[in-house]
Amino acid sequence: MGNVEDTKPMEEQINNNKTAFDLNDYTIIKEGEAEILMQTKNEVFYNKSQVNNRDMSIAVLRTFISKRKEEHEALLSKRMQKASKVSESHAANGSSNGECEPSEVIPEGEPCSNGDEPEKAVEGRAPRELKPTRVLEALSASGLRAIRYAREVEEIGQVVALDNDKASVEACRRNIKFNGSVAGAKVESNLVDARVYMLTHPKEFDVVDLDPYGSPSVFLDSAVQSIADGGLLMCTATDMAVLCGSNGEVCYSKYGSYPLRGKYCHEMALRIVLACIESHANRYKRYIVPVLSVQMDFYVRVFVRVFTSAGAMKSTPLKLSYVYQCVGCDSFHLQPIGRTVSKNTSVRYLPGFGPVVPQECSDCGKKYNMGGPIWSAPIHDQDWVTSILSDVKAMKNRYPAFNRISAVLTTVSEELPDVPLFLSLHNLCGTLKCTSPSAVIFRSAVINAGYRISGTHVNPLGLKSDAPMDVIWDIMRCWVKNHPVKEQSSDQSGSVILAKEPILQANFARAVASLSKAQAKKVARFLPNPERHWGPKLRAGRTITSKHVSLLGADAVNNLLNNNEEQEAEEPQAKRIKTEEQTPISCEKE
């Protein structure tokens, strides 16, 4: 934290700007290149631990800007080539059929922007210059994030910061002035309901950032309409207890999906948010392409591009699935919502075949819970992840949270892209009541059986694999043969599983690929929290009551209530919540 004494030039600047406020009433908080004034009364929301979120967003923004440029150049050169071919063949009337490639970014006003009735492209039309990126920070509070974007991401044109809270907008305007000429020229702050603003500014922003208290659900419908074609939606959800199944029905009412309380619940949370954004986008003939989806600290943050195409939208049911999870052994199976049948050049879109599971679990005989629908297509674009990670490494000093975000990106870069959710070795062993093989031994057995396996950024103990559940249980049966367990009652899921003979004979010999590249090179993949009370905060000015359980989760609230006195002594207005590393909300089975 800065202090008033060492900011003389800034003080002068404020005086020059004739801004009437007394610096003694404020603490100066520095993050990245932004400095914000926090009133000692702390009426405006600020959470230090969201530095990871802001750093990650800056990294993605930088990559978005460079990819947007590349795509625009590629589009121009494609058009030039087409135009020169046309002139070469003297085919003056050989105009384009106006079809858009799904991955093409169509600059504002270009053909196909509505995706419904592609306009005819006009050959030889002067290419439009790519306008500087415009960002909407829809829920800006102090303006810290908006100011960081403007000051740190060189090629940003404008950042519009919104808030419906007067004190926040006043703070934001004060902070814009306090941050000098670049912030002053680029950041604009408005007192408005973000939903109204986004609805009245359709397809105007290249980037829309949603960073709400708790759930983003009420902002999604307007946000997907405010994004330009090919633009980026960056969206946080901190209501992890809801998304992870503490109140499944609340999750359903907010997001339209049922969560399951498995070890993979944090990844499921990401996939529920993605499915929800896709559903809002579809209402406007739009669809999403996720570029990065992370669960960090106490929230999820997704980065998705939004495109318009009525045709591409037909594929949405192929990207969504229900999840069946056994109540006894935690085996899980995905039920895709849709499928396609191709005949010659035509493709038919049909409902998925189901059910993919019998009434009783084929491993242990218990019933299934059904959750979802979730986004079951890839949640990251690995090409983007590689670019983001290498940009971050190249600008290490410009990211206060470098260690954390590079660790997360490294782990993300090694995830199997096409395997939704993950297994927990601890859970498997818990079901069988056996000792656990090391992750290397287990991974080796899966690889030796001919399947792929990787870690997940969501949980240091999680394992993603394309091996079917019966193969996984066969591997565990073979393990138990060499590491016997005590006899258990015959109706236990573990006993039922172990009563069957394995079909596959597992080979536990160490496989070369049993360690990921980062593991082999001892590159950090998971880091502990940097300090105590690294967690979510409530709405500015609120005190904590048991009503917040649904927002923060029972554990987090209990922790907070237990630590309240101690915290009050340390920081009178700070309402931070202690969380466990990587597993802030308990997602144990009922």
Ligand X SMILES: C[S@@+](CC[C@H](N)C(=O)[O-])C[C@H]1O[C@@H](n2cnc3c(N)ncnc32)[C@H](O)[C@@H]1O
162 binds, among ligand X, Zn ion, none (CB under 5 to 8 A by kind): ligand X
What does 43-93 look like in DSSP terms, one character per residue? -S---GGGHHHHHHHHHHHHHHHHHHHHHHHHHHHHHHHHHHHHHHTT-TT
We find the least distance from the C-beta atom of residue 159 to ligand X, in angstroms, to be 12
Q: Is 163 in the site for ligand X (CB under 6 A)?
A: yes
What does 400-447 look like in DSSP terms, one character per residue? TTHHHHHHHHHHHHTS-TT--S-EEHHHHHHHHT-PPPPHHHHHHHHH
Q: Which two tokens stand for residue 498?
A: 């172990």
Q: Is 391 in the site for Zn ion (CB under 5 A)?
A: no
Region from 112-120, 357-365, 446-454, 482-490 binding Zn ion, contact rule CB under 5 A: 357-365
255 binds, among Zn ion, ligand X, none (CB under 5 to 8 A by kind): none
- Measure the CA dihedral 569/581/142/56, to 10°: 150
Q: Which two tokens stand for residue 503?
A: 């079909």
We find the least distance from the C-beta atom of residue 360 to Zn ion, in angstroms, to be 8
Q: Is 476 in the site for Zn ion (CB under 5 A)?
A: no
Ramachandran angles phi, psi of 164, nearest 5°: -100, 10
- According to CB under 5 A, which residues from 192 to 211 bind Zn ion? none
Nearer to ligand X, 55 or 165 (CB): 165
How far apart CA 146 and CA 136 sit, in angstroms, is 8
**Residue corresponding to tokens 């005949």:** 343
We find the least distance from the C-beta atom of residue 183 to ligand X, in angstroms, to be 15
For the four alpha carbons of 103, 107, 111 and 117, in that order, the dihedral sign comes to positive
Which secondary-structure segment (H or E) carries 168?
helix 166-178
Candidates 329, 389, 511, 577: give the one binding Zn ion (CB under 5 A): 329
We find the least distance from the C-beta atom of residue 192 to ligand X, in angstroms, to be 7
Candidates 95, 96, 114, 164: give the one binding ligand X (CB under 6 A): 164
Q: Is 328 in the site for Zn ion (CB under 5 A)?
A: yes
Q: Which amino acid is at 491?
A: D
Region from 12-20, 210-218, 314-322, 373-381 binding ligand X, contact rule CB under 6 A: 210-218
What does 495-541 look like in DSSP terms, one character per residue? HHHHHSPPSS----SPPGGGS-HHHHTT-------SSTT-S-B-STT
Q: Is 304 in the site for ligand X (CB under 6 A)?
A: no
Q: Is 326 in the site for Zn ion (CB under 5 A)?
A: yes
Q: Is 35 in the site for ligand X (CB under 6 A)?
A: no
**SS3 for 230-242, per residue?**
EEEEEEEECCHHH
224 binds, among ligand X, Zn ion, none (CB under 5 to 8 A by kind): none
Nearer to ligand X, 164 or 586 (CB): 164
Region from 171-179, 366-374, 479-487, 530-538 binding Zn ion, contact rule CB under 5 A: 366-374
Q: Is 384 in the site for ligand X (CB under 6 A)?
A: no
329 binds, among Zn ion, ligand X, none (CB under 5 to 8 A by kind): Zn ion
213 binds, among ligand X, Zn ion, none (CB under 5 to 8 A by kind): ligand X
CA atoms within 13 A on the CB side of 338: 16
363 binds, among ligand X, Zn ion, none (CB under 5 to 8 A by kind): Zn ion
- Measure the CA dihedral 153/163/579/302, to 10°: -50
Q: Is 363 in the site for Zn ion (CB under 5 A)?
A: yes
Candidates 180, 184, 212, 400: give the one binding ligand X (CB under 6 A): 212
Give the number of residues written for the chain.
590
How far apart CA 283 and CA 79 sit, in angstroms, is 31
Q: Is 361 in the site for Zn ion (CB under 5 A)?
A: yes
Q: Is 307 in the site for ligand X (CB under 6 A)?
A: no
Q: Is 188 in the site for ligand X (CB under 6 A)?
A: no
Please state, in angstroms and as integers, the Cα–Cα distance from residue 224 to each residue in 100, 131, 215, following that order.
Answer: 20, 20, 16
Q: Is 162 in the site for ligand X (CB under 6 A)?
A: yes
Nearer to Zn ion, 257 or 427 (CB): 427
**Strand 453-456 and strand 368-375: pairing?**
unpaired
In the stretch 127-156, what mask flags binding to ligand X with x, by CB under 6 A?
A: ------------xxxx-xx-----------
Q: Measuring CA to CA, which residue among 454, 452, 451, 448 is closest to residue 479?
A: 448
Nearer to ligand X, 38 or 291 (CB): 38
Q: Is 55 in the site for ligand X (CB under 6 A)?
A: no
Please state, in angstroms and as integers, the Cα–Cα distance from residue 61 to each residue in 149, 251, 387, 412, 533, following that order.
Answer: 8, 29, 11, 17, 28
330 binds, among Zn ion, ligand X, none (CB under 5 to 8 A by kind): none
We find the least distance from the C-beta atom of residue 546 to ligand X, in angstroms, to be 21
User: Contact at 8 Å (CB) between 36 and 50?
Assistant: no
Region from 322-330, 445-453, 554-562, 581-589 binding Zn ion, contact rule CB under 5 A: 322-330
In the stretch 86-125, what mask flags binding to ligand X with x, by CB under 6 A?
A: ----------------------------------------
Ramachandran angles phi, psi of 340, nearest 5°: -125, 155
Contact residues for ligand X, defined by CB under 6 A: 45-46, 50, 54, 139-142, 144-145, 162-165, 168, 193-195, 211-213
Binding footprint of Zn ion on the chain (CB under 5 A): 326, 328-329, 331, 361, 363-364, 366
